[in-house]
Amino acid sequence: MTSPETTPTTKSGISFFGPPVEAPQLHETDMMSMPEFDPEANDQFMEWALSGGHVVKVLYREGDMSLVWSWFGPNYVLPRHSHSADCLYFVVSGEARLGNRVVPAGAGFFVPAGAPYAYAAGPEGIQILEFRGATSFDMKITEGLPRWDKIVETVRDNSETWREQASTHV
Protein backbone atom coordinates (compact mmCIF):
# COMPACT_ATOMS: atom_id res chain seq x y z
CA MET A 1 0.00 0.00 0.00
CA THR A 2 1.33 3.43 -0.89
CA SER A 3 0.91 6.04 1.81
CA PRO A 4 0.20 9.69 1.02
CA GLU A 5 3.72 10.57 2.18
CA THR A 6 5.42 8.84 -0.77
CA THR A 7 5.07 8.57 -4.51
CA PRO A 8 4.13 5.20 -6.00
CA THR A 9 6.92 2.66 -6.14
CA THR A 10 8.53 2.29 -9.55
CA LYS A 11 8.95 -1.07 -11.29
CA SER A 12 12.45 -1.24 -9.83
CA GLY A 13 11.08 -0.81 -6.29
CA ILE A 14 12.41 2.71 -5.83
CA SER A 15 10.15 5.17 -3.97
CA PHE A 16 10.56 8.93 -3.79
CA PHE A 17 9.54 11.49 -1.20
CA GLY A 18 9.51 15.26 -1.08
CA PRO A 19 11.04 17.86 1.21
CA PRO A 20 9.66 18.66 4.68
CA VAL A 21 7.62 21.61 3.40
CA GLU A 22 5.52 19.16 1.33
CA ALA A 23 5.18 16.46 4.01
CA PRO A 24 2.31 16.00 6.47
CA GLN A 25 2.86 16.85 10.10
CA LEU A 26 3.18 13.83 12.38
CA HIS A 27 0.01 14.74 14.29
CA GLU A 28 -1.93 14.72 10.99
CA THR A 29 -1.15 11.01 10.52
CA ASP A 30 -1.80 7.86 12.54
CA MET A 31 1.92 7.09 12.72
CA MET A 32 2.38 7.81 16.44
CA SER A 33 -0.27 7.11 19.04
CA MET A 34 -1.20 9.82 21.55
CA PRO A 35 1.65 10.02 24.09
CA GLU A 36 1.12 8.29 27.42
CA PHE A 37 2.15 10.34 30.46
CA ASP A 38 1.45 10.84 34.16
CA PRO A 39 -1.98 12.51 34.43
CA GLU A 40 -0.58 14.71 37.22
CA ALA A 41 1.59 16.37 34.55
CA ASN A 42 -1.33 17.16 32.22
CA ASP A 43 -1.03 20.96 32.50
CA GLN A 44 2.74 20.86 31.93
CA PHE A 45 2.36 18.44 29.02
CA MET A 46 -0.21 20.65 27.31
CA GLU A 47 1.87 23.82 27.74
CA TRP A 48 4.91 22.00 26.31
CA ALA A 49 2.95 20.40 23.45
CA LEU A 50 1.42 23.74 22.41
CA SER A 51 4.64 25.76 22.84
CA GLY A 52 5.33 26.16 19.11
CA GLY A 53 8.86 24.86 19.62
CA HIS A 54 8.60 21.93 17.25
CA VAL A 55 7.66 20.99 13.71
CA VAL A 56 7.61 17.25 13.01
CA LYS A 57 7.02 15.99 9.44
CA VAL A 58 6.61 12.46 8.05
CA LEU A 59 8.84 12.32 4.96
CA TYR A 60 8.52 8.61 4.22
CA ARG A 61 6.29 5.80 5.44
CA GLU A 62 6.25 2.66 3.33
CA GLY A 63 6.53 -1.08 4.02
CA ASP A 64 8.52 -1.44 7.22
CA MET A 65 10.43 1.85 7.01
CA SER A 66 9.76 5.42 8.02
CA LEU A 67 11.64 8.68 8.03
CA VAL A 68 10.64 11.67 10.13
CA TRP A 69 12.16 15.15 9.89
CA SER A 70 11.97 17.35 12.98
CA TRP A 71 12.82 20.93 13.77
CA PHE A 72 13.12 21.97 17.41
CA GLY A 73 13.70 25.58 18.39
CA PRO A 74 16.71 26.87 20.32
CA ASN A 75 17.04 25.16 23.72
CA TYR A 76 13.81 23.17 23.18
CA VAL A 77 13.64 20.31 25.68
CA LEU A 78 12.09 16.92 24.96
CA PRO A 79 10.92 15.21 28.15
CA ARG A 80 12.26 11.81 29.16
CA HIS A 81 10.38 9.29 27.02
CA SER A 82 10.60 6.04 25.09
CA HIS A 83 9.17 4.62 21.87
CA SER A 84 8.04 1.12 20.88
CA ALA A 85 10.43 1.08 17.89
CA ASP A 86 14.20 1.39 17.50
CA CYS A 87 15.26 4.79 16.16
CA LEU A 88 18.43 6.02 14.50
CA TYR A 89 18.81 9.80 14.75
CA PHE A 90 20.93 11.95 12.43
CA VAL A 91 21.55 15.62 13.23
CA VAL A 92 21.21 17.66 10.03
CA SER A 93 21.91 21.07 11.58
CA GLY A 94 22.36 22.44 15.07
CA GLU A 95 23.06 20.05 17.90
CA ALA A 96 21.38 17.68 20.34
CA ARG A 97 22.33 17.64 24.01
CA LEU A 98 21.88 14.32 25.78
CA GLY A 99 22.99 14.81 29.36
CA ASN A 100 26.58 16.10 29.18
CA ARG A 101 27.04 14.79 25.62
CA VAL A 102 26.70 17.09 22.60
CA VAL A 103 25.80 15.50 19.25
CA PRO A 104 26.74 17.96 16.48
CA ALA A 105 25.51 18.27 12.90
CA GLY A 106 26.71 15.32 10.84
CA ALA A 107 26.62 12.92 13.80
CA GLY A 108 23.83 10.92 15.39
CA PHE A 109 22.72 8.42 17.98
CA PHE A 110 20.71 5.20 18.23
CA VAL A 111 17.95 4.55 20.78
CA PRO A 112 16.60 0.99 21.09
CA ALA A 113 12.87 0.39 21.53
CA GLY A 114 11.76 0.88 25.12
CA ALA A 115 14.89 2.78 26.22
CA PRO A 116 14.02 6.02 28.03
CA TYR A 117 15.93 9.10 26.89
CA ALA A 118 15.65 12.87 26.68
CA TYR A 119 17.47 15.54 24.77
CA ALA A 120 17.48 19.27 24.21
CA ALA A 121 18.17 21.30 21.10
CA GLY A 122 21.28 23.46 21.24
CA PRO A 123 21.27 27.27 21.26
CA GLU A 124 20.71 27.41 17.46
CA GLY A 125 17.93 24.81 17.49
CA ILE A 126 18.14 21.53 15.61
CA GLN A 127 16.99 19.77 12.46
CA ILE A 128 17.10 16.02 12.97
CA LEU A 129 16.14 12.94 10.97
CA GLU A 130 14.54 9.91 12.65
CA PHE A 131 14.95 6.58 10.81
CA ARG A 132 12.78 3.68 12.01
CA GLY A 133 12.21 0.11 10.86
CA ALA A 134 8.52 0.66 11.65
CA THR A 135 5.68 2.72 10.23
CA SER A 136 3.91 3.23 13.54
CA PHE A 137 5.08 3.57 17.13
CA ASP A 138 4.06 4.87 20.52
CA MET A 139 5.51 7.44 22.92
CA LYS A 140 5.63 6.92 26.67
CA ILE A 141 6.67 10.01 28.61
CA THR A 142 8.26 9.13 31.94
CA GLU A 143 9.32 12.62 33.00
CA GLY A 144 8.91 13.46 36.69
CA LEU A 145 7.03 16.54 37.91
CA PRO A 146 10.14 18.46 39.12
CA ARG A 147 11.76 18.32 35.67
CA TRP A 148 8.44 19.13 33.98
CA ASP A 149 8.51 22.42 35.89
CA LYS A 150 11.95 23.18 34.40
CA ILE A 151 10.73 22.26 30.91
CA VAL A 152 7.74 24.60 31.27
CA GLU A 153 10.06 27.38 32.45
CA THR A 154 12.07 26.93 29.22
CA VAL A 155 8.81 26.97 27.23
CA ARG A 156 7.75 30.27 28.80
CA ASP A 157 11.17 31.83 28.16
CA ASN A 158 11.28 30.78 24.48
CA SER A 159 7.82 30.11 23.02
CA GLU A 160 7.46 33.50 21.32
CA THR A 161 10.77 33.05 19.48
CA TRP A 162 9.95 29.42 18.68
CA ARG A 163 6.62 30.32 17.12
CA GLU A 164 8.26 32.92 14.88
CA GLN A 165 10.93 30.45 13.74
CA ALA A 166 8.53 27.50 13.39
CA SER A 167 6.43 29.36 10.84
CA THR A 168 9.29 29.05 8.34
CA HIS A 169 9.19 25.22 8.62
CA VAL A 170 5.45 24.53 8.40
This prediction has a pTM of: 0.90
pLDDT of residue 3: 52
Q: How confident is the model at residue 2 (pLDDT cuts 50, 70, 90)?
A: very low
Beta strands (DSSP E) in the chain are 54-62, 65-72, 77-83, 87-98, 101-104, 108-111, 117-132, 139-141
Tens of pLDDT, residue by residue over 109-134, are 999 999 999 999 999 999 999 999 99
| Interacting residues of 25 by C-beta distance below 8 A, sequence separation 6+ | 55, 56, 57, 58, 170
| Domains of the chain from N-terminus onward | 20-166 (2.60.120.10)
Query: For the chain, what percent of residues have pLDDT higher than 90?
Result: 86
Residue 6 pLDDT exceeds 70? no
Residue 7 pLDDT exceeds 80? no
Tens of pLDDT, residue by residue over 11-64, are 788 988 999 999 999 999 999 999 999 999 999 999 999 999 999 999 999 999
- Work out the end-to-end distance of the chain between its first and last CA atoms, rounded to an integer number of angstroms: 26
pLDDT of residue 19: 92
Tens of pLDDT, residue by residue over 50-95, are 999 999 999 999 999 999 999 999 999 999 999 999 999 999 999 9
